[in-house]
Every structure is written in C-alpha cells, then in structure tokens.
Structure 1
Amino acid sequence: MPTAAIKICGISTPDTLEATIRARAAHIGLVFFTKSPRAVTPAQAAALAAQAQGRIGRVGLFVDADDGAIADAVVAAKLDALQLHGKETPERTGQLRARFGLPVWKALSVATAADVARADAYAGAADLILFDAKTPRGALPGGVGLSFDWSLVAHWKGPIAWGLAGGLTADTVAQAVRLTGAPLVDTSSGVESAPGVKDEGRIAAFCAAVRAVEQSAI
C-alpha cells in the first residue's frame, strides 16, 4: 500500500512548522478563518510561507471567504492550493479555481452515504475532495476532533482525488488508512495539546503511524 500523503492543518508557529517538515508531511494548512483558534494573520502567514518555501506544500483554509480575502492570503502566503471548508457550491468552487489558477480542495462534511455522494457534483470544479466529519450545529467547521464512519468512504472510487479528515490521531490513523485506502490524511486537533496548540511530539507520532502502514503491508 503506498504511503498516504500527510497534511498537518492549523500550523501557526515556526517551531511546529519545522516539526512538520522534520516528520516528512507533504502539506501544511494555514487557517484564514478568524473564528478559529488556529487562525493566522497575513503577516504570520507570510513569515511561515517564507520558512516553508520549497520544503513543504502550503494550503490555505477558507470558510465562505470573499475573493478579496482569498486574494490577500494567496499573495501573503504564496499558497500552493486553496482548501474550502464552508458551504461553497460546485459553481463557487469552480469560480475560485479559475480565478486563482490554483488547485482547490473542497471539504465535505460526512455523516451518511448521501453526504459522500455529493462529491460527484464537484467533478471539474475541485481538484480534491476532503471527506471530514460533520460537526454539531453552531460548532466550528472542522478541527473539533470528531470522526465519522470510515466505511462510508472505504476505497472510494469517485471522479476526483480525495483525502480523509476528521478526528485522526496517531492512535487511529493507521486503522483509518487500512480501512479506507485514503491517499491523503489531514489532521489538526489530533496533534494538539490544547485547541490551536500543536504538539511537536504528536506531529512526529502521527506521521510515523501513517508511514508504518506501508511498512506493515510489505
């Protein structure tokens, strides 16, 4: 089984960025959603992006953001991809992909098979679908440590590349990858000691657990 690509979302400090690079993750997530405890300012994002340059992919996370806010973030952080974590429609997703000329990842909240089926509508608009857990009404969209029934996306064969998110930790990610065959895994709260506070040891353990799946399959 090929090793799943790893994204550590909600990176906000130089030290945790270095820990993520050391752990050989493929992407960091920079959160441009002010209500999140993981949010970064354009100035913080610019400094982190300069540190990450040429060493790890930079994905900007947005929640129903307007074009101006996204444009500011793209310039400040020299983003490699946009991740949409709100209620963006396929039409809106396609518009942003065309305007910014960057790959677009669309997060979809999953609780039922019908939620997974929604992914098909994003074919041609999004470059990757990120299946995430559905959060309670009124909660922040993501980063709350909830997972969903992974069997709903087991070895999903849709029209778009995909990844798995939602409550993944060093203790659960290997099982999740084995069950689903996810080509990419994304974690945020799963490598934190408190909301918004990344833990370098947990980042290392998470990435090691993902790579151990490939070793066990040999």
Structure 2
Amino acid sequence: MCASVKICGLSDPRHVDAAVTAGARYLGFVFFPKSPRNVSVGHAAELMADVPVGVAKVALTVNADDVLLDRIVSETVVDMLQLHGAESPERVVEVKARYGLPVMKAIGIAGPDDVGQIELFAGVADQLLIDAKAPRGADLPGGNGISFDWRLVQRKYWPCPWMLAGGLTPDNVAEAIRLTGAKQVDVSSGVESAPGIKDDRLIAAFCAAAQAAA
C-alpha cells in the first residue's frame, strides 16, 4: 500500500490542485498568524470548496480557543482539526466532543525523553502527527524544516494512526518511510521555493517518492 501524503500550509488554489493531482490524501490549511502559511477563515473556505471527496481537509491551529475553532468549523468544510500547540489530552477530548470531528494532535520530538508524550495522546486523539520539536525561542511549532532522529520512532506502533513530519523532502522521504515504517507522511517547507510559497514540481516529486517507497 502506498504511503498517504499530507501537503500542509497551502494558501494558493494552484498548489491545492497540484497536491490533489499528485495524489495527496490530506491537505493542510494553517490558521496561525505567525506562520508565513497563515490563511484567513474566508480564504480557506474558498480553497477547500473544490477539493474532491476522499481528500481530507485539515485545519491546523496552535493553542486555538473555541472562538477561532467555532469559525473554522462553521465557515469552512473542514474534515479534521489538527492541534499543533501545547494542548493537553483533556483539551483534545474537549475539542472532539464539541465539534464531532476527528482530531490530530502534533507532538514534537527532539530526543528520547519526548517519546513518552506520544503515549499520553495515543488513547485520545484520532491521529498523531509526530514532528520535530521546534528550537527554543522559535516562532513556529512546526514547518521549520528540521528533522529528528527517526530511530526514536522506528517501527513503533500506537493505538491510533500516526503521521511522520519534520524536515521531510522529496530527497529523504523514501528513506524516512523505510526506516520508520510510517504509513503517512506530512510535508510543508520541504516542498517550498521560499517560506510559504509551494512549488508544484516539488509537491509532485514528494508524492511520487513517498508512494514509490511504500
């Protein structure tokens, strides 16, 4: 079976089309003002409108309050909420109950001590995004183009599906999949020509490499 790909941080309809054409199974839209990939709720609604059935539209938020989540859920056709901040397991449960949508929780990994965080969320989230932990003082919790030691999650299995992220590119995604056994991968900066600017050719190359590796 081919690895499922998530192209995150989309903000241009041309790149949405490129991701769908390349076979991405998930499209990520960022609602975080500090990010160069940030989109407004209205713009995201336009971007999501023509995404075909079967491709999941994921709203990435960082420590979002209910006011923002209410707007996203009521004004777009989002399929999944991605919590990419310091949200607790209790907050994950709360968000799931409030909106009735699947929740993906991002967990930052820098070393062995961080791996235990995965267990805390594996029983409450619908999916996990296992990402490289942001450097101290970084403005962004993800999308920094850095990776972690993939051996820390090598052939690991948890109660819910998980997705590998952090510094993935068309050149290294096949190795990452082979080493970790990941069945899903996420990319943002690794398919950009500049921060926040996606590249159609890199999107296609990433999807092709991930699918061939699996």
Tell me the TM-score normalised to structure 2 length: 0.97
| Structure 1 residue 76: Cα displacement | 2.2
CA-atom RMSD in angstroms: 1.0
1:27 maps to what in 2? 26
1:169 maps to what in 2? 169
**Inter-partner Cα distance in structure 2 for 1:207 and 1:159:** 26
1:179 maps to what in 2? 179
The answer as to whether partners of 2:4 and 2:211 remain within 8 angstroms in 1 is no
1:206 maps to what in 2? 206
SS of residue matched to 2:117: helix
SS of residue matched to 1:15: helix
The 5 Å alignment of 1:55-94 reads 56-94=55-93
1:148 aligns with 2:148: yes
Equivalenced residues, count: 213
Runs of 4 or more consecutive aligned structure 1 residues displaced over 4 Å after TM superposition: none
The 5 Å alignment of 1:98-177 reads 98-139=97-138, 140-177=140-177
| Structure 1 residue 115: Cα displacement | 1.1
Residue by residue, what CA displacement relative to the aligned partner does 1:141-188 show, whole Å, maximum 9, x if unpaired? 111100000000011112221110001000000000000010110000
**Inter-partner Cα distance in structure 2 for 1:158 and 1:124:** 8
1:17 maps to what in 2? 16
The answer as to whether partners of 2:58 and 2:79 remain within 8 angstroms in 1 is yes
Give 5+ residue unaligned stretches, structure 2.
none
**Inter-partner Cα distance in structure 2 for 1:98 and 1:55:** 23
**Inter-partner Cα distance in structure 1 for 2:52 and 2:34:** 27
Identity rate, percent: 53
SS of residue matched to 1:145: coil
Give 5+ residue unaligned stretches, structure 1.
none
Residue by residue, what CA displacement relative to the aligned partner does 1:64-114 show, whole Å, maximum 9, x if unpaired? 000110110122221100101000000011100111111110000001222
Tell me the TM-score normalised to structure 1 length: 0.95
The answer as to whether partners of 1:116 and 1:131 remain within 8 angstroms in 2 is no
**Inter-partner Cα distance in structure 2 for 1:145 and 1:151:** 18
**Inter-partner Cα distance in structure 1 for 2:33 and 2:128:** 23
**Inter-partner Cα distance in structure 2 for 1:127 and 1:15:** 30
SS of residue matched to 1:51: coil
**Inter-partner Cα distance in structure 2 for 1:40 and 1:53:** 20
